[in-house]
Homo-oligomer: A and B are copies of this chain.
């Protein structure tokens, strides 16, 4: 359903090897300052999440909008029943934590539909169960109260914000044990192609530091360390 360009599966696979720290560091160098969602943490910190943003936008509740919905399916359900493989469902809760945006049944549906993960800057309910789902889910907290208490869901696949970062439908959403980074679609291929190289260099540098190298020489690497790095890379092949 969402109208954005699909990245090749290969690109998404390569992004799984890039940490959120590396990706946001690379984006800052490109000139994209605001990419890491603040305050959003994983319920399953061992999972890696890569997919393209399928967005759902909430507003503060307005009882008159709710009354007039009639029998049309609401945006929340269009989103839950619309996401699929390659998507990450991003729910803009405007940081409000007074009630949940969804619970275990809806999260189960998102997982069954094959989506790559779920992110909100609000809260979820039924989090004890959701923690057992072995599925990448990112939140700002837990709250047992249902979404109808404070929210009106207003639209799907619009530009939104989440955790203080703008998210366009189709942006790549990358999550790991540290949190969630938004990679603008136009920069995703570059991060995929160069990010893994950057990760490898950082592993090399960390190893040198573990062996006693000074960060003044090795981080960033001076000529000598770059030479050693290239040898190390060759030796690993």
Q: Which residues of A line the B interface, CB within 8 A?
A: 19-25, 28, 31-36, 38-39, 41, 45, 59-65, 68, 73, 77, 80-81, 94, 97-100, 103-106, 108-109, 112, 125-128, 131, 141-146, 148-149, 152, 154-155, 158-161, 164-166, 168, 176-179, 181, 184, 186-187, 202, 205-206, 209-210, 212, 214-216, 219
Contacts and interface: CB of A to CB of B under 8 A. Distances in A.
B144 A20 contact: yes
B45 A128 contact: yes
Given A105-B215, A178-B127, A60 B145 contact: no
Nearest 9 A-B pairs (CB), nearest first?
A: A128-B177, A21-B144, A59-B166, A21-B125, A20-B144, A24-B144, A62-B166, A64-B184, A36-B144
Contact of A209 (B39, B108, B165): B108
18 contacts: A21-B103, A21-B125, A21-B146, A35-B145, A36-B144, A36-B145, A38-B98, A45-B128, A64-B184, A77-B216, A81-B215, A104-B202, A106-B215, A106-B219, A125-B178, A127-B177, A128-B178, A158-B158
B215 A165 contact: no
A109 B209 CA distance: 6
Contacts of A24: 125, 144-146
A125 B38 CA distance: 12
B61 A219 contact: no
A62 B32 contact: yes
B159 A154 contact: yes
A166 B144 contact: no
Contacts of A105: 202, 205-206, 209, 215, 219
Given A20-B144, A98-B38, A178-B126, A168 B65 contact: yes
Given A19-B126, A128-B45, A186-B64, A59 B145 contact: no
Contacts of A62: 32, 34, 166, 168, 184
A207 B91 CA distance: 24
A16 to B, nearest CB: 14
Nearest to A62: B166
A34 B21 contact: no
A56 to B, nearest CB: 13
